[in-house]
Amino acid sequence: MIPAFTYGLAGLKAARTSFAARSQNIVNAYTPGYQAAEPIQTATPNGPIVTVNQPPANQVTGTQPQAPLDLLGNNVNLPEEVVGSKLAEISYKASLAVLKTASEIEEETLDLLA
């Protein structure tokens, strides 16, 4: 049962990290020069991990925006950030379900042994 707890906790941490990065991007969407953090999830033998790539902020000058959402010299894509936040929420709930199931299995196993 220990691996299930390890995977569940790793999933919770990964989802939390991803959600925090996405939230930071949404909050700073209209901050001139802000560069969106990019949460990158990777699989490991002990469960998923998320690292966050945070590029340095741009100096806002009189340059033309590259895209409609790039009006302030940043690269925040609000629809992408909202979807990423929702995926992090779903991942968090799935990890909680893994922990709950592992706990129930452990409890039933101990009851059988008693």
DSSP string of 79-105, one letter each residue: HHHHHHHHHHHHHHHHHHHHHHHHHHH
* pLDDT score of 73 more than 90: no
Query: Domain for residue 64, yes or no?
Result: no
Please name the residues in contact with 57: beta carbons below 8 A apart, sequence gap of 6 or more.
Answer: 33, 34, 35
Domain that holds residue 85: 2-55+71-113
- 36-42 mean pLDDT: 94
61 part of a folded domain: no
User: Is 104 contained in some domain?
Assistant: yes
Answer whether residue 79 is part of any domain: yes
Question: How many domains are there within the chain?
Answer: 1
Domain assignment present for 83: yes
Specify whether the CB–CB gap between 49 and 10 falls below 8 A: yes
Higher pLDDT, 4 or 1: 4
More confident: 76 or 86: 86
Helix (H, G, I), strand (E, B) or coil at 40: strand
Tokens for 68? 């409609």
Report the pLDDT value the prediction gives residue 71, as an integer from 0 to 100.
55
Q: Report the pLDDT averaged over residues 1-9.
A: 86
Report the distance separating Cα 10 and Cα 93, nearest Å.
Answer: 13
First and final C-alpha spacing in the chain: 18
Q: What is the mean pLDDT of residues 58-63?
A: 51
27 or 69, higher pLDDT: 27
Residue 91 lies in a domain: yes
- The pLDDT of 82-108, averaged and rounded, is 95
